[in-house]
Amino acid sequence: MSVLPISPLIKLPGILMIAWAATVSIRHHALLMTAKSFQSLVLLTDGGIEALRVDGECLKAEVSPQSTLFPWLVVLLLKTPARRSPQAILILPDSLTADELRKLRSWLRLMTG
């Protein structure tokens, strides 16, 4: 197996961009350190969600039917009028209590069909 020879002058900017993107993503999604990070979700009976951000903004959103449930991960796709594409929220099992996770999964199955 051969490796293409790439100049270090090309590799370094690529590595720096990947490191920067990873840092931004971890701060936003995992550590909830940015103002636009979601702090809590309220499930509504009409199939909507109220999402509270760290900065105090409350968004009313719909759950996309393309949201996905895995045993180890819940991928919520939220559709808001302000955005063209759905916004993804990743929820790991250790992010919620067992009862909260069960309720979320049941609610999603009911609302997304």
pLDDT tens, the chain, 113 aa long: 567 688 888 888 988 999 999 888 888 766 777 777 788 889 888 888 998 888 888 889 999 889 889 988 898 898 988 888 888 888 888 888 999 999 999 988 887 76
Q: Which domain holds residue 47?
A: 37-112
Q: Is the pTM of this model over 0.85?
A: no
- The domain tally of the chain equals 1
Residue 60 lies in a domain: yes
64 touches 86 (CB < 8 A): yes
- Tell me the two tokens of residue 87: 């916004």
One-letter amino acid of 26:
I
Residue 91 lies inside a defined structural domain of this protein: yes
Has residue 19 been placed in a domain? Answer: no
- 30 belongs to a structural domain: no
Please check whether residue 6 lies inside any domain of the structure: no
pLDDT given at position 40: 87
pLDDT the model gives residue 1: 58
> What CA–CA distance (Å, rounded) separates 93 from 82?
29
